[in-house]
Amino acid sequence: MTNNEQDVGTVRIANEVVGIIAGLAATEVEGVAGMSGGLAGGIAEMLGKKNLSKGVKVEVGEKEAAIDLYVIMEYGVKIPDVAWQIQDNVRQAIEDMTGLAVVEVNVHVQGVNFGNEVEEEEEEAEETRVR
């Protein structure tokens, strides 16, 4: 340790912070319709932009992180290609923003979005809330 380097404490990044970064990075990839909250009644439930970390499971250690992403793809995309792009984008975003080494990015495709059905339902729900 040189004179300029001092042990002043530790920095711990919360799992939820890493989860939000991963969710944002995943939804930036073209072909991703959104994050999935799991299977409800055999149908993948798509989460809105406010729930990005809920479609993500994260394990964060002192120097490394492992991420599981649950996504819904757009109909017509090449799923393996989009999954590889998600892995690259998530790995780069987490490593750049947190300094953690990403050891795994597992992409779980939970469903396929066939159009604007979900977006229309979300817009209707927002409209009925404010009158």
- At 27-85, the pLDDT tens digits run 999 999 888 876 554 455 555 555 666 789 999 998 999 999 999 999 999 999 999 99
Q: Which secondary-structure segment (H or E) carries 3?
A: none
Percent of the chain with pLDDT over 70: 71
Architecture of the structural domain at 15-129: 2-Layer Sandwich (3.30)
Sorted by where each begins, the domain ranges of the chain are 15-129
DSSP class of residue 82 equals H
**24-34 burial: b if 16+ Cβ within 10 Å, else e:** bbbbebebbbb
Q: Which secondary-structure segment (H or E) carries 79?
A: helix 79-98
> Among residues 33, 19, 22, 28, which one has the least CA distance to residue 79?
33
